[in-house]
A and B are shown apart, each in its own frame.
Chain A
Amino acid sequence: MAADVAPQHVLRLDRVSFRRGSREVLREVTLDLRPGERLGLIGPSGAGKTTLLRLLAGLERPASGVVQPAVVPGERSADGIRVGLLFQDLGLFPHMRVRSNVAFPLLARSVPRDARRRRATEALVQAGIGDFADRFPGSLSGGERQRVAIVRTLLSEPSIVLLDEPFASLDPHLVGRFAEWLEDLRSRAEVCMVLVTHDVRLVMRWADRLAILVDGAVEQVGSPTELYARPRTAFVATFLGEANVVDAVVIEATGAGSVLCEVPALEGRSVRASVATDMAVGARCRLVIRPEHLAVGNAGEPGGLTCEVAGVGFAGRSADLLLTTGTGASLRTNAGPADLTRSTGEKVTVRWPPVQTHAVAP
């Protein structure tokens, strides 16, 4: 029932396509942005993420399809929607001091000089970067410049903020702190934020919803949990995290969101898996099993699949085991620290719970 109710949205792309020369950069993209939500936009390089942001900001016009409401850069739409975009290279004005950069959107709205100076200073202080006010952007570090650019964007009072790779110029150890700072700012400004990033782990923690873009088309949209547990394609499964993907054939379709499959790679065993879309008996599919869902036991334990350890890797709190099945297929597991003592060539038993196995179209 709930699925039939159209969610309230602040901006909607309806079957939007975009061409650059002869290349189709975006194909029939349908996506909505909901009030106050955090949407993560991820996908491989060249998937069209930045172009999608530019369309959302009104900097590009679609070849076909509709953006509702129509966005004019820098202007508030009839519905009161204003979109702010933070470019990957920030677009700060190097010849202006930080305060002038931040006050620029106020100047654009003809806010009197004293008022804009005061508001810019307040915004910088609130964001914890008040000390930078009299410096030029060129004298700041990458992270500091990012903060200045975000404060400037928020002072333009947007309803939607689009961020293109905001973590790209940050050292890895600063990304977490920066994300916290950003979230604090976002919650106070009560804006919808769209984040394009290659940092999948971070965006899965941060986002309310994720949209995965592949070759200019939206592959899947949903909550991070939903996409991780019930990916629609093998690509989504592997993009969001490590996954064992093996070919299978449906031998029984129960119609209750699950199928029984025969898996040649697992020595022809029958495996029950959840499905997002119906699959007919005899249909070829691929099973997705996350490494952390494979349980490793000693050789000879009943009910498991016997495998040989092909490699052991230290991964901090866990051990990554690379296993080879009797049919030569490879499986990855995230085992406990105790499994670090396993040695190459050792025989082990592997089991997997049916609820954690998911079947996707080939």
Chain B
Amino acid sequence: MTGSRTGGRVAPAAVLTVFMVGGLVLPLGLVLAELAAEPERLGQVVGESAAAAGRSVLLAVVVAAIALPPAITVARSLTRARHAVRVVGVALCVLPLVLNLLVVILAWMVVLEREGLVNTLWTTMALPGDPPQILYTRSAAVLAMAYVVMPVMALILLDSFRRIDPRMREAARLLGARPLTRFVLVELGFVAPALVTAYVMGYVLCLNLYLVPEYLTGPHLTTLGFLVQENVIKSFDLGSAAVQATMLFVMAVLPVCGALAMDRGVRQR
């Protein structure tokens, strides 16, 4: 009995392990092992990719930070909304995920270009000064990436906000706390683990949105993901691509491990 139950739990894990090792870790490992035989080459690839890696991390950190406040606002509003409104809101949050990334990029080009929506509105509303030039600046990439990751972050936060006991809010009110204190200490305090998860998820997703800065900003914001693509598709330099992919993997996994450690600490309460 026990053996079959254990077997039932182990089998899916084993399949997953084989899938991960066979599909990702094994080829990466083989290429890296080949490169390890040439340590100078390994060091050279890491050195050449360091600037792009730094840009990737910085961009992901900034975009996730910018997307977090609107994600909190959306999640909190959906929590308090009626059921039908919440369903529509969740559907709208899922929409950017199912859209092809190139479509999203094209849409933002239409919005931000010289004759685009922003500039047209600026002119129509007779706002002072010239319309801002956003396309092909860092702001364009940040805006579009935040647009993609914000709904995911909101969906992660939604469940946690829904688990806030309304009595807790009322208790804080009865104890004399002002609305901002209630929001920050009681609500955000309660959903803090989900905030960390949402932020890390936003950060990790940003690492993989390498096409957005490339098309909406330009080569001065090339990220590590784009270099991997170039090495695989154009240069066929699989060794360099493997090193860069491993760097990306480490950049993504480290914050996840940190978040898991924090989550474990919270659960031990």
| B186 CB to nearest A CB, Å | 6
| A208 CB to nearest B CB, Å | 24
Binary A-proximity of B136-170 (CB < 8 A = 1, otherwise 0): 00000000000000000000000000000101101
B122 within 8 A of A: no
Minimal Cβ-Cβ distance residue in B for A137: B269
Binary A-proximity of B172-197 (CB < 8 A = 1, otherwise 0): 11111110010001100110100000
**Can you give 10 A-B contacts (C-beta < 8 A)?**
A73-B170, A87-B167, A91-B170, A93-B168, A93-B185, A104-B175, A105-B175, A107-B185, A152-B175, A156-B174
Determine the distance from Cα of A92 to Cα of B174 in the docked complex, in whole angstroms. Answer: 12
B250 within 8 A of A: no
Minimal Cβ-Cβ distance residue in A for B167: A91
Binary B-proximity of A90-130 (CB < 8 A = 1, otherwise 0): 11111110000000110111000000000000000000000
B171 within 8 A of A: yes
Enumerate the 8 nearest inter-chain pairs by beta-carbon distance, A residue then B residue, closest first. Answer: A91-B171, A108-B176, A74-B176, A108-B177, A136-B269, A91-B167, A105-B175, A87-B167
Are the CB atoms of B269 and A85 closer together than 8 Å?
A: no
| B230 CB to nearest A CB, Å | 46
A108-B181, A139-B269 in contact; A74/B174 too (CB < 8 A)?
yes
Set of chain B residues within 8 Å of A59, measured between Cβ atoms: 170, 173-174
Contacts between chains A and B (CB distance < 8 A), count = 75
Contact of A105 among B165, B168, B176, B178 (CB under 8 A): B176
Are the CB atoms of B176 and A94 closer together than 8 Å?
A: no
Are the CB atoms of B174 and A93 closer together than 8 Å?
A: no
Set of chain A residues within 8 Å of B171, measured between Cβ atoms: 85, 87, 90-93
A278 within 8 A of B: no
Set of chain B residues within 8 Å of A93, measured between Cβ atoms: 168, 171-172, 185-186, 189-190
Set of chain A residues within 8 Å of B168, measured between Cβ atoms: 91-93
Set of chain A residues within 8 Å of B172, measured between Cβ atoms: 91, 93, 104, 108
A91-B167, A139-B269 in contact; A156/B189 too (CB < 8 A)?
no
Minimal Cβ-Cβ distance residue in B for A86: B171
Determine the distance from Cα of A93 to Cα of B186 in the docked complex, in whole angstroms. Answer: 7
A83 within 8 A of B: yes
Minimal Cβ-Cβ distance residue in B for A100: B185
